[in-house]
Chains A and B, each alone.
Chain A
Amino acid sequence: MEPGNSEKAIAEMRKIDNVVKISVVAGEFDIVVRVQVNSLDKLLKVTDKIQMIKGINKTTTQIIEKEITS
């Protein structure tokens, strides 16, 4: 993220379909976004929309292969 744009960027991200969770974090990254889609095509659309938001410099995508949760 470019400094000073995070509030606006989060507001934009909250409008995107298929985004189920947004976490603002402290560390190497600034924001972790969880996306739920049923095809890679839709994932591409979401990452595209996120990258179009002003203030976002770089994104990295991790695809979930397996998950354990309560």
Chain B
Amino acid sequence: MKIRIRKRYLFYVLAFASSIIVAFNSGLDVFTQRDIPNPWALGIACFILAVIISFLITLILSIKYKDKTLGARTVDPSFRGIKLISKKELAPHLLAGLGNAMLTIGYFFLLDIMSGDVSVVLPFSQIVILYLVIIESFNEKNAPTLIEIQSAVIVTFGAILGSIGLQGRIDPLALAIVFLVINPGWVLISIYQRKLKMMKIKDKQNDAINIRLWNATFACLFTLIIVFAYDIINGSNNIIEGLNSTIKYYYWVAIIAVFTFFSFVFYIRALGIGKASVTQAVKASVIIFSIPVSIVLGYIGLADPFTTDPVLLLIKIMGIVLIMLGIISFALTLTKAYIFIKKKPGVSIEKIMNDLWKIKGVDRVTAVAGDYDFIIKIRTRTLVKGYERILTKIEEVPGIKEYKWQSVLKEWEDI
């Protein structure tokens, strides 16, 4: 069978798969932190092995079987083999790589100054969903609708409640790192990896496997430069320690790198389907998936036992309910429609196309030869008022003779 999965489900399957892997990895992290207690050295080991492992997996996935690569058959249908980046990919790759390095270094710096207990401060990194909503609102075509803002706020607050601890402390420097380093890092990763995934290279859709490979490479480069500068300023020896740890404890870190690779590939594919803010919001489900991992780790004695404090449990349950409500409202409010349009003679096709494209909620404008002149695709989360607005705007476009609205009930797409 050629097209395997419905488009709406695919987005959630990818985003949830990515979250489940991240939650599982957070369990494995406990083992690596035990072996490599210095967070800087751990960061370096993670990135060096991420590059090596990403390269090896990409090579394996590039093997062709019956005209198609293994990667295209299993993880991303757009994958056609390992490749160097093209000129137009360089700038987004540099920014996404910088974002990844900022995020990782910010996180390890946080671990360093908070002596490992980041349970109160780190949950605020979920506010990145709102950063993305704000950034998207600057672009009029992508501006979030009321429902999107509402759902994003619900998920963000839920995520903070669901992951916060009661023992840790709030430190202004630590909060500043979360708001000014970690969150902007995530913004760079999601915005620019999305840009890369949406790009067409030689008329073909870009693939998530190569994007991940090159993101790991650029992020590793930036991390080494930043930690090297930090070493020189502080007289520390983190680079050497990191390289030693990479050689000595490669096994755990390499296993994490394998899972991280697939988690990012699924995340990048999801970014290619949904908005960055929505993808990030669905990814907040990692908090729910982390709970069984924490319970198992607590049970086998590798982490503090899972909380039995009724207040904290209540807060967590409230958080989880909010996350689920937010994600469900994202999933159920997305509506799509095709509008088939006929134009009056004597009006420029290009002009009408541009006028239609300016309307918020219009995802695609196609000029066609046949019974109709244009087919436009609407993709929006909105209330009834929103549809009225779209139709009024279409009627206002000069040169439109008649139109037919066809709501999409189900959809399959090869992506």
Cβ of B371 and Cβ of A14 under 8 Å apart?
A: no
The answer to whether the Cβ of B307 comes within 8 Å of any Cβ in the partner chain is no
Cβ of A64 and Cβ of B368 under 8 Å apart?
A: yes
Please tell me which one of the listed residues A15, A20, A66, A70 contacts residue B366 in the complex, with CB atoms under 8 A apart: A66
Cβ of B372 and Cβ of A62 under 8 Å apart?
A: yes
Residue of B nearest to A11 (CB): B1
B142 nearest CB across to chain A (Å): 8
**Contact string, B361-372, partner A, CB cutoff 8 A, digits 1/0?**
001111111111
Interface SS majority for chain A: strand
Q: What B residues does A62 contact at CB under 8 A?
A: 368-372, 375
Q: What B residues does A66 contact at CB under 8 A?
A: 349-350, 353, 366-367
Please tell me which one of the listed residues B338, B366, B370 contacts residue A25 in the complex, with CB atoms under 8 A apart: B338
- A15 vs B412: C-alpha distance when bound (angstroms): 12
Cβ of B338 and Cβ of A32 under 8 Å apart?
A: yes
The answer to whether the Cβ of A44 comes within 8 Å of any Cβ in the partner chain is no
- A23 vs B262: C-alpha distance when bound (angstroms): 29
A-side interface size class: 20 to 34
The answer to whether the Cβ of B198 comes within 8 Å of any Cβ in the partner chain is yes
Residue of B nearest to A60 (CB): B371
Given contact pairs A62-B368, A67-B366, A69-B364, A21 touches B408 in the complex (Cβ within 8 A): no
The answer to whether the Cβ of B413 comes within 8 Å of any Cβ in the partner chain is yes
The answer to whether the Cβ of A37 comes within 8 Å of any Cβ in the partner chain is no
Cβ of B404 and Cβ of A27 under 8 Å apart?
A: yes
**Contact string, A4-33, partner B, CB cutoff 8 A, digits 1/0?**
000000100011110111111111110010
Instruction: Give 9 A-B pairs besides A22-B3, A23-B409 with Cβ atoms closer than 8 angstroms.
Output: A17-B2, A21-B412, A23-B338, A24-B408, A26-B407, A28-B406, A62-B369, A64-B368, A69-B363
Question: What residues of chain B have their CB less than 8 Å away from a CB belonging to chain A?
Answer: 1-3, 7, 141-142, 198, 336-338, 340, 349-350, 353-354, 357, 363-372, 375, 404-414
Of all A-B residue pairs in the complex, the 10 with the closest CB atoms, nearest first, are: A62-B370, A27-B406, A62-B368, A25-B406, A24-B410, A21-B413, A69-B364, A66-B367, A68-B365, A23-B411
